[in-house]
Amino acid sequence: MTIVVTGSSGLLGRHVAAALIEAGHDVTGVDTAPPPVPNAWRHISADLTDLGSAVELIRDAEAVVHVAAIPRPTGRTARDVFATNVAAAYNVTEAAVLGGVSRLVYASSFSVTGYPFNVKPIAPVYLPLDAAHPTAPQDAYALSKWLGEEIVAAAVRRSEMVALSLRLPWIQTAETFYPQVEPIRSDPGKAAQSLWSYIDGRDAGEAFRAAIEKPVEGHLRLYVSAADTFMEEPTEALIAAAYPGTAMKRPITGTDCVFDLDETLDALGFAPRYSWRSYPVPAGREST
């Protein structure tokens, strides 16, 4: 397929573009930053907050993967995060409808539940989380992701396009994991706000490839995550300490993640393959 991947120079976008190219698709990456590897895919620099640019870029595509966004509500004003993300989501989705694109895959976030940037304390209604769990965004980033899903849903209702919104946690690689996650998991409060969740970038790329290729109808919202948490303690013990009394739809054993990944397996045939537990351990750090 001829596919446009927005945000292709970022950590998630580069893994998505690479997975699609490996599967034999024709990929055009769109980003304001240059690609991490020159000539890895066709690259166009563009500002997707401009509708005209989005229409021009997407008019010949068969499918679109929309990843481009400010990825967190820190380091930028809340207005900037919200306005940029919502404008880009609207413009890319509108361009896809106008261009007759058959499939749109939107990079959403588990932050639509309210985590991990919630200002006021919240607790899951139940675990493991599935697509039916209530959304409760508080911050500008989470709200922009939730509204992005709604923009996609509205487009599907008025067109022949099918779409998937993939809700991802923290993207990690062997190089980023210990420097980024170690300070978080040593703080029980911050770790709990993250729901102890992450996904390896390679698995994220494969999830988007599956979302492009598998037959679906309408608009699906699915959680995609590593199969385990980023912690070494059993997950049920973490839940009991951070969110006591949470209803459990089924037991969560060992260090399994807090998401219902069966939904994604059933819809896309995708199951995560990678875990931080196989990452090289930095010198001087002994695993417990």
Whether 285 is covered by a domain: the verdict is: no
Residue with tokens 């240059």: 34
Query: Left, alpha or beta for 98 (phi > 0: left; psi -120 to 50: alpha)?
Result: alpha
Structure confidence by residue, pLDDT tens digits, 258-273: 999 999 999 999 999 9
Q: Which structural domain, as residue segments, surrounds residue 117? A: 2-173+198-226+257-277
Q: Which residues of 175-192 are buried (b: 16+ CB within 10 A; e: fewer)?
A: eebbeebeebbeeeeebb
Residue 184 falls inside a structural domain = no
For residue 183, being part of any structural domain is answered with no
For residue 65, the surrounding DSSP H or E stretch is strand 63-66
- The more confidently predicted of residues 286 and 9 is 9
Bridge partners of 26? 2
As a whole number, the mean pLDDT across the chain is: 96
Per-residue pLDDT tens over the stretch 179-207: 999 999 999 999 999 999 999 999 999 99
From 33-42, 58-67, 151-160, 171-180, the region with the lowest mean pLDDT: 33-42
Number of domains the chain contains: 1
Tell whether 71 is covered by a domain. Answer: yes
Cβ-proximal residues to 248 (8 Å cutoff; 6+ apart), any chain: 126, 127
The CATH code of the domain that includes 78 is 3.40.50.720
Q: Please indicate, yes or no, if residue 179 is contained in any of the structural domains.
A: no
191 lies in a domain? Answer: no
Tokens 């573009």 locate to: 17
| 93 has pLDDT over 60 | yes
DSSP conformation class of 196 = T
Percentage with pLDDT > 90 across the chain: 96
Average pLDDT on 120-138 reads: 97
* pLDDT for 283 beyond 50: yes
What confidence category does residue 288 fall into, taking pLDDT thresholds of 50, 70 and 90?
very low
Determine the pLDDT at residue 97: 98
Residue 287 has pLDDT above 70, yes or no: no
Q: Which of 101, 196, 197 is nearest to 155 (CA)?
A: 101
Three-state SS annotation for 238-279: HHHHHCCCCEECCCCCCCECCECCHHHHHHHCCCCCCCHHHC
How would residue 285 be classed by pLDDT, with cut points 50, 70 and 90? confident
With a cut of 90, say whether residue 158 has pLDDT above it: yes
- Digit-coded pLDDT (tens) for 204-255: 999 999 999 999 999 999 999 999 999 999 999 999 999 999 999 999 999 9
Over residues 30-51, mean pLDDT: 94
Angstrom CA distances, 24 to 1, 203, 208, stand at 8, 17, 14
Say if 136 falls within a structural domain: yes
Condensed to tens digits (0 to 9), the pLDDT of residues 49-77 reads: 999 999 999 999 999 999 999 999 999 99
Q: Domain for residue 48, yes or no?
A: yes
pLDDT category of residue 284 using cuts at 50, 70 and 90: confident
Of 204, 206, 186, the closest CA to residue 196 belongs to 186
Please determine, for residue 98, whether its predicted confidence score (pLDDT) is greater than 50: yes
CB within 8 Å of 133: residues ≥ 6 apart: 113, 124, 125, 126
Percentage above 70 pLDDT, the chain: 99
